[in-house]
Amino acid sequence: MSKIPCTLRIARGSDIQQIAVMSRCLIEVGLRGWTWHPTRIARALRSRETCVLVAETEGRFAGFAITEFGDTRAHLSLFAVQPAHQRRGIGLAMIEWIMESALTAGIKQIDVEMRSNNFAARSFYEALGFVPKGQVAGYYQNIEAAVRMQRRIGSMAAAPEQ
């Protein structure tokens, strides 16, 4: 598929429900309950240490990323692109934005976890220079293991050319 232009912006209150539903349908599917419910998304949106990023294409919601920024590390807590827009450059644009923001904040590392059977996500992150740092048994509600990945960022850690 060809790349499509997208606009990135900080999430607004009007995005909360859509982010929560996307999380439930694309990320939390098969798990008990709903951990990234609207109340939790709203809390992330209000947090000074958390950035909730939204991607739009042609004025429509295409994806989001929730990243927690610490002193030296950032943690990509939640990340999704609508299936119709996957493999079209939107996820890459969001990750590049997050990395640039992290660098500006003096952060040297970004961490992320994904389901151990999510090979598409793992491949995506590996192509961006993330490296596996181990598995965490029972990470997802003691139902599924997670693969933890990490990316060092900075002048000496540029992502491979796409």
Query: Per residue of the chain (162 residues), what is the pLDDT tens digit?
Result: 678 889 999 999 999 999 999 999 998 887 777 889 999 999 999 999 999 999 999 899 999 999 999 999 999 999 999 999 998 999 999 999 999 999 999 999 999 999 888 999 999 999 999 999 999 887 777 778 889 999 999 754 444 444
Q: Which domains does the chain have, with CATH numbers?
A: 7-112 (3.40.630.30)
- pTM value? 0.89
Cα 123 versus chain centre, distance:
14
Contacts of range 112-116, beta carbons closer than 8 Å, 24 or more positions apart = 112/75, 112/76, 112/79, 112/148, 112/149, 112/150, 112/151, 113/139, 113/146, 113/147, 113/148, 113/149, 114/146, 114/147, 114/149, 115/140, 115/144, 115/145, 115/146, 115/147, 116/144, 116/145, 116/146, 116/147
